[in-house]
Chain A
Amino acid sequence: MSETLPVPSAPPAPARRVSGVPIRLEHVTKRYPGQDRPAVDDVTLDIAAGETVMFVGPSGCGKTTLLKMINRLIEPTSGRIHLGDEDVTNQDPDRLRRRIGYVIQAGGLFPHMMVATNIGMVPRMLGWEKQRVTERIDELLDLVGLDPEQYRDRYPKELSGGQQQRVGVARALAADPPVLLMDEPFGAVDPITRQRLQDELLRIQDELGKTIVCVTHDFDEAVKLGDRIVVFDVGARIVQYDTPEAILAAPAEEYVADFVGAGATLKQLTLTRVNSLHLRPVTTASVGDDAADAVARARAAGDDFVVVLDRRGRPISWPTLAEVSRMAAIPATVDEKLPVVGLGSTLNDALDTMLAASQGGAVVLGRRDSLAGVVTIEMIMDAIQRTRQETAG
Chain B
Amino acid sequence: MTTATPSARGVAAGDARDEAAPAQPGTEAAGTAPGGWRALVVQPLLVAVGLLAFLLWRANATLTDTEARQLGTATLWDSALRHLSLTVVSAAIVLLISIPLGIALTRPALRRLTPAVIGVANVGQAAPAIGLFVLLATWLGFGFWTTIVALVVYSALPVLRNTMVGIQGVDPRLVEAGRGMGMSGTAVLFRVELPLAGPVMLAGARTALVLLVGTATLATFINGGGLGVLINTGITLSLNSLLISGAVLVALLALAVDWLGRVVEHVARPKGL
Task: Name which residue of chain A comes closest to B178, CB basis.
Answer: A110
Q: Which of B11, B196, B272 contacts A155 (CB 8 A)?
A: B272
B 8-44 contacts with A by CB, 8 A: 9-25, 28
Q: Mark A326-341, 1 if CB is under 8 A from B, else 0.
A: 0000001111111010
In the complex, what residues of B have CB within 8 A of residue A252's CB?
none
A321 contacts chain B at the CB level, 8 A cutoff = no
- How distant is A140 from chain B, measured CB to nearest CB, in Å? 14
- How distant is B71 from chain A, measured CB to nearest CB, in Å? 49
Inter-subunit contact A163/B19 (CB<8 Å)? yes
Inter-subunit contact A316/B12 (CB<8 Å)? yes
In the complex, what residues of B have CB within 8 A of residue A109's CB?
177
Q: Mark B189-206, 1 if CB is under 8 A from A, else 0.
A: 001100110000000000
In the complex, what residues of A have CB within 8 A of residue B191's CB?
110
Inter-subunit contact B174/A108 (CB<8 Å)? yes
A87 contacts chain B at the CB level, 8 A cutoff = no
Inter-subunit contact B176/A114 (CB<8 Å)? no
A367 contacts chain B at the CB level, 8 A cutoff = no
In the complex, what residues of A have CB within 8 A of residue B128's CB?
none
A-B contact count (CB 8 A): 164
**What is the CA–CA distance of A312 and B272 in the complex, to the nearest angstrom?**
31
In the complex, what residues of B have CB within 8 A of residue A102's CB?
177, 180-181
A251 contacts chain B at the CB level, 8 A cutoff = no
Inter-subunit contact B177/A338 (CB<8 Å)? no
A 67-114 contacts with B by CB, 8 A: 71, 73, 94-99, 102, 104-106, 108-114
Task: Name which residue of chain A comes closest to B4, CB basis.
Answer: A150
Inter-subunit contact A338/B10 (CB<8 Å)? no
Inter-subunit contact B25/A338 (CB<8 Å)? no
- How distant is A123 from chain B, measured CB to nearest CB, in Å? 11
B 99-131 contacts with A by CB, 8 A: none
Judged by DSSP, the binding face of B is loop
A 169-189 contacts with B by CB, 8 A: 171-172, 181, 189
In the complex, what residues of B have CB within 8 A of residue A227's CB?
none
Inter-subunit contact A156/B10 (CB<8 Å)? no
In the complex, what residues of B have CB within 8 A of residue A338's CB?
13-14, 16-17
Inter-subunit contact B182/A158 (CB<8 Å)? no
In the complex, what residues of B have CB within 8 A of residue A312's CB?
10, 12
**What is the CA–CA distance of A310 and B24 in the complex, to the nearest angstrom?**
22
A139 contacts chain B at the CB level, 8 A cutoff = no
Inter-subunit contact B11/A158 (CB<8 Å)? no
Q: Which of A113, A145, A150 contacts B9 (CB 8 A)?
A: A150
A355 contacts chain B at the CB level, 8 A cutoff = no
A361 contacts chain B at the CB level, 8 A cutoff = no
- How distant is B156 from chain A, measured CB to nearest CB, in Å? 27
Q: A108-B174, A147-B9 are in contact. Are A196 and B14 (CB under 8 A)?
A: yes
B236 contacts chain A at the CB level, 8 A cutoff = no
B 209-249 contacts with A by CB, 8 A: none
**What is the CA–CA distance of A163 and B213 in the complex, to the nearest angstrom?**
48
Inter-subunit contact B173/A106 (CB<8 Å)? yes
In the complex, what residues of B have CB within 8 A of residue A98's CB?
181-182
Inter-subunit contact A95/B182 (CB<8 Å)? yes
Task: Name which residue of chain A comes closest to B184, CB basis.
Answer: A94
Inter-subunit contact B176/A317 (CB<8 Å)? no
A 189-213 contacts with B by CB, 8 A: 189, 192-193, 196-197
Inter-subunit contact A94/B183 (CB<8 Å)? yes
Q: Which of A71, A160, A365 contacts B19 (CB 8 A)?
A: A160
A218 contacts chain B at the CB level, 8 A cutoff = no
- How distant is B56 from chain A, measured CB to nearest CB, in Å? 46
Q: A157-B28, A159-B22 are in contact. Are A335 and B181 (CB under 8 A)?
A: no
Inter-subunit contact B16/A336 (CB<8 Å)? yes
Q: A108-B176, A108-B177, A336-B3 are in contact. Are A158 and B24 (CB under 8 A)?
A: yes
B138 contacts chain A at the CB level, 8 A cutoff = no
In the complex, what residues of A have CB within 8 A of residue B22's CB?
154, 158-160, 163
- How distant is B4 from chain A, measured CB to nearest CB, in Å? 7
A-B residue pairs in contact (CB < 8 Å), sample of 5: A99-B182, A110-B177, A121-B183, A314-B10, A336-B17
Name B residues whose Cβ lies closer than 8 Å to a Cβ of A.
1-7, 9-25, 28, 173-174, 176-184, 187, 191-192, 195-196, 270-273
Name A residues whose Cβ lies closer than 8 Å to a Cβ of B.
71, 73, 94-99, 102, 104-106, 108-114, 121-122, 125, 145-147, 150-151, 153-160, 162-163, 171-172, 181, 189, 192-193, 196-197, 310-312, 314-317, 332-338, 340, 363, 365, 369
